[in-house]
Structure 1
Amino acid sequence: MINHIKNFAVVVLLIFCMTFIFSGVMAKGQENGYPANWEVPVKGTITDTYGSREGHHKGIDIAAEAGSAILSVNEGVVTKSYYSKTYGHVVFVKHPDGFETVYAHLNKRLAEKGKKVSKGEKLGIIGNTGVSRGTHLHFEVHQGKWNIEKSESINPFLLVAAEQIESPGVASSSRIKEEDNSNLSTIEEQEPNKEVSKAVKTIIVEKGDTLWNISQEQKIEVAVLKDWNDLTSTLIFPGQELAVYQ
């Protein structure tokens, strides 16, 4: 019980710190003259941030439901649209303000090279192609032209606020019950009550793990994992214990 309280306190502290960082990054971005009215590329769950993986991750990862449309954050011209062994199906867009954005791991591309796109226009469908672990969008922003070293990359949160992206990837049980009362019995079978169920396993979070990846491995929805473990966000940390119920 004491360990659970300690873990909960650490999670709350992490959430506070991340919120403070995101807010500070956005404020700094606006001070530097970055545009503040970009569209979000897709609404979903942020599963990895810029600069993680010992500084090698030069974008953000956003997990969302299969079939979700990927949108251009601003008007521009498609500079590349092809299949890469690492990026999978990927689209690059050059914007008139000098930025170039990258949309990777798509299941399908809907914009070819040379096409002029408007803000919010569909570029493709979210996918799991290339070097990827689960359905998500890998999104990059470069202040200038993209290069293989990604030396011009910047934190996307300078232009798109984290809170604008975050949206439940799957409907929670309470939301489903409000919208479709005919499926209550099915929902209750899929989402056991943690008060009367026993944990069948305890998962120790390792470095590099995300709640989305764990949900895919355990075949459990992110919203259910959050509910079972009293999580208020998708942030997890190495050494944290996650309970899975039957």
Structure 2
Amino acid sequence: MDLASLLIAAVAVLVGAAGQRMIGMGWGLVVTPVVALVAGPLAAVLVVNLYGAIACLIIVPRVWRDIDWRRLLWLLLPAVALMVPGLLLAQALDTDLLRVIVGAIAVAGVIVSVAVTSTARHRDGPGVRLAAGSTIGLLNASVGMGAPIVGLYSLVSHWHDRTFVATMQPFWALVSGMIVAIRPFVAPEGAPDWPLWGWLALVAPVVLGVVLGDRLAHRVDRTAVRWAIIVCSLLGGASLVIAGTAALLA
């Protein structure tokens, strides 16, 4: 049993759950790099999606009336369609190299999207939503890191209000839950070496993080949310580049 990786994962889960409740994202951006470093990239995909689904299911009743169901479907359907290819991609390619590529794309995408949103114009519609949903599904299944694409989409479409935070909860619950369900049949390897009580114990920091985030959520304004998304996306992308490069050089 790797007790150290379990304890580190618990801290990451606590912080990630609080961020997920406050700004609608932050879970994968925090938990994926940490778990990938202490337990391996394949373990990160499982942990991020399993406990991410639990966290979002806890949050959904609190934000139910603000969910934008139409936009949810536009993002969810293409995300589901690309899950199996994403899992197969994780098996076929060097995961650390894939992390470097994804991280670089995420950082570059944030820079471009910030430049785009410096004007009053926004870009949204079926094409943008299908592209965003497809990429999210592919990346979340392969490297557990679809969140930077959510951040990019929210910036480009100017979707920063409370409906964004609310809609992301059922979106991630469904996407993550489906990945966990199909993973044993497509890519069953790489689970962390934790006992059953360790897996059950990780639910506690999930719940605690949601409660903490719930208390802070109403104190965060729209501008703060936008900048939180920018910072989280940049940190998430940079952490993937650093983690992937370090593993390739090891």
What is the TM-score of this pair, normalised by structure 2? 0.28
- Which protein is richer in helix relative to its size? 2
Computing the radius of gyration from Cα coordinates, the structure with the larger value is 1
- Of structures 1 and 2, the one scoring higher in RCO (CA 8 A, sep 6+) is 2
- Which protein is richer in strand relative to its size? 1
